[in-house]
């Protein structure tokens, strides 16, 4: 689930949504499993209204908004499809939308009193609120402070699931690489796991 930032170039982030949207549904440690299984938008035509709303391409202001979904399917969906519950394009995108609705991050943060603001939050306060609400620890990624600034900016909140698609803690096992590190590049900046000690900005104007 991720945001769109002013730091991006002027052509990006057109009419961004003012709510958390989907980035993707990613199986661990696998990429581009079946290069011959190409994305076909007609297979998800029943989902398009929800896809445009909850899974928009906020990074590219193109008329063809299917490019992002094509990328997610070919890089991650073809790997996720080894699970029967995700073994078609309609199942993969449909289940991701279901999980988004189930997690309901926008509502959770509001209930916890965590709202976009011009003042800063402590990262530990945000983490504790999420853990209390979900019973598991998500992974929060931030844009590091810009030169001369002291605060990091929340960019992405990652929830982890078992193969049965039940929420679990996002804790990497010893020696396990992090497949999502730097998966989202914002302009020249890369997201990284948020620091617990830096003040944290949750921007009120996402543009």
The residue assigned the tokens 């944290």 is 200
CA proximity to 114, closest of 21, 201, 17, 2: 201
> Active site includes 53?
no
**Strand ranges for the chain from DSSP E:** 121-122, 139-143, 152-158, 160-161, 167-168, 185-186, 189-190, 192-193, 199-201
Closest C-alpha to 123, from 186, 192, 23: 192
Beta bridge partners of 2: 21, 156
Question: 57 has which bridge partners?
Answer: none
Separation CA 87–CA 25 (nearest Å): 13
**Of 18, 38, 76, 158, which residue is the catalytic one?**
76
Q: Is-catalytic flag, 102?
A: no
Catalytic residue among 23, 158, 164, 190: 23
Q: Which one from 43, 72, 146, 189 is the annotated catalytic residue? A: 72
* Other Cβ atoms within 10 Å of 41 Cβ, number: 16
Is 31 an annotated catalytic residue? no
Residues that are catalytic: 23, 72, 76
């Amino acid at each position: 689930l991720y945001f769109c930032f002013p730091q991006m170039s002027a052509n990006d982030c057109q009419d961004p949504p003012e709510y958390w949207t989907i980035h993707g549904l990613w199986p661990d440690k696998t990429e581009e499993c079946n290069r011959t299984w190409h994305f076909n938008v007609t297979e998800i035509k029943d989902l398009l209204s929800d896809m445009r709303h909850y899974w928009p391409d906020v990074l590219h202001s193109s008329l063809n908004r299917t490019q992002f979904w094509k990328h997610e399917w070919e890089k991650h969906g073809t790997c996720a499809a080894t699970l029967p519950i995700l073994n078609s394009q309609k199942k993969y995108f449909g289940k991701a939308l279901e999980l988004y609705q189930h997690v309901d991050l926008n509502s959770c943060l509001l209930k916890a009193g965590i709202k976009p603001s011009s003042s800063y939050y402590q990262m530990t306060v945000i983490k504790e609120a999420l853990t209390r609400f979900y019973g598991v620890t998500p992974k929060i990624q931030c844009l590091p402070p810009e030169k001369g600034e002291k605060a990091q900016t929340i960019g992405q909140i990652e929830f982890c699931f078992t193969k049965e698609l039940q929420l679990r803690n996002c804790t990497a096992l010893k020696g396990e690489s992090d497949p999502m590190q730097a998966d989202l590049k914002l302009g020249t900046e890369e997201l990284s796991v948020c620091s617990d000690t830096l003040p944290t900005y949750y921007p009120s104007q996402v543009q």
